[in-house]
Amino acid sequence: MSPKLTDDRKEQRNRQILEAAEQVFIRKGYSAASLKDIIEETGMSRGWIYLYYSTKEEIFEALLDHRDIEYEKDLERRLADSPTVWPVIRSLYEQQLDDLEQRGGGMMPAFYEYFLVGWRDPQRSELLQRRYDQGVSRFEELLRIGVEQDEFAPAMDTLDIAKLAASLQEGIVTHAITIGVEKTNARMQFDALLRYLYELLLGRPTL
């Protein structure tokens, strides 16, 4: 009889699967990646993988949840290290630009492939809408912290600003991935987005 895995060991194996899957999705995208690719990347047997996940789709969605948790931890660290909110917002955009320039967007191409190609699937559509709401809400909370600390005096409702920022950001990222970082001049666009966002937050929009 095989020895019983402890909870810590189970979590370690799960993390190993998700980290391997992330590398596969970054290299191959979502559609071209296979469960076999992920299994080979983990170095585990197929049987071990099936103890945790049955499909590539399950792994992908679990990876998104895992990345959300890591993002929340990272955001908490950034807020704890900064006396004001704006440097945190800048650093988040700079991190995304760095991912585009250095890693081709990291997981973002697979993310768009999964949701935009499969948006007609009701379950994926529901998940995408839920993730959109969570992302906008998370960013709005950052803005509210700045308002409460008298750092911002926004010209618009903070929820509307968060939605506007999300749409502009997604447009830049989508074009940078599909057309190219240099051709779209993604750095210039991120700089312009940050300037516009800052003006909105200070109550003096420039557009």
pLDDT tens for 126-170 read 999 999 999 999 999 999 999 999 999 998 999 999 999 999 999
Residue type, 191: D
The structure's pTM equals: 0.88
| 125-135 b/e (C-beta count within 10 Å ≥ 16 → b) | eebbeeeeeeb
Architecture of domain 82-207: Orthogonal Bundle (1.10)
Does domain 1-62 match CATH 3.90.1150.10? no
Task: Please tell me the distance from the alpha carbon of residue 21 to that of residue 1, in angstroms, as a whole number.
Answer: 29
Cβ contacts of 147 within 8 Å, gap of 6 or more = 153, 154, 158
Closest CA to 88 of 197, 206, 205, 207: 197
Average pLDDT of span 165-177: 96
Where are the chain's structural domains?
1-62, 82-207
